[in-house]
């Protein structure tokens, strides 16, 4: 009997944690249990800035932008604790990301090199020389993002 109670409690905690994780999805309304902290103006593409809010979910820091209906438009993270469903993480080498994603980076002029992942996340790499838009072969993932 005690073992059954422990299993029920464990299941409850796991399901609560997974619902928190899933609460950051593009198009989903921001959950009332998410505390939106500091607001910053973030460059989300070469010529576009958006107000983003810092949020922390499962001990991982994110920046999210929302629309007028309180729905998530974009999610960014620079947190090294974040691991995408594709097993890609901040700080991972370019060659490893290409191997896992089976895709090559493409340039978004004036912003970053990006590798889209099957999960909907994108791995972003800094441009090493803005004059020639080059990507160093030893580049690492600097941030990850999702947006609609």
Instruction: For residue 92, give both structure tokens.
Output: 């991972």
Nearest in space to 124 (alpha carbons), one of 69, 52, 67, 43: 43
Helix ranges (H only) for the chain are: 2-22, 94-101
Q: Please indicate, yes or no, whether the overall pTM of this predicted structure exceeds 0.85.
A: no
What tokens were used for 26? 């593009």
Q: Which of 101, 113, 111 is nearest to 141 (CA)?
A: 113
Question: Over the stretch 61-120, which tens digit does the pLDDT of each residue have?
Answer: 999 999 888 899 999 999 999 999 999 999 999 999 999 998 999 999 888 999 999 999
Domains of the chain listed by start with CATH number: 1-77 (3.10.450), 80-148 (no CATH)
């Amino acid at each position: 009997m005690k073992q059954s109670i422990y299993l029920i409690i464990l299941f409850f905690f796991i399901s609560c944690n997974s619902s928190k994780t899933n609460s950051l999805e593009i198009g989903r309304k921001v959950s009332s249990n998410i505390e939106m902290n500091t607001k910053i103006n973030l460059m989300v593409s070469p010529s576009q800035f958006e107000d983003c809010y810092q949020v922390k979910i499962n001990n991982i820091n994110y920046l999210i932008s929302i629309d007028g209906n309180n729905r998530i438009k974009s999610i960014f993270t620079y947190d090294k604790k974040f691991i995408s469903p594709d097993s890609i993480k901040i700080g991972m080498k370019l060659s490893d990301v290409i191997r896992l994603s089976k895709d090559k980076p493409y340039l978004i002029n004036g912003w970053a090199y990006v590798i889209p992942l099957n999960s909907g996340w994108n791995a972003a790499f800094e441009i090493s020389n803005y004059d020639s838009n080059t990507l160093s072969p030893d580049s690492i993932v600097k941030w990850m993002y999702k947006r609609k």
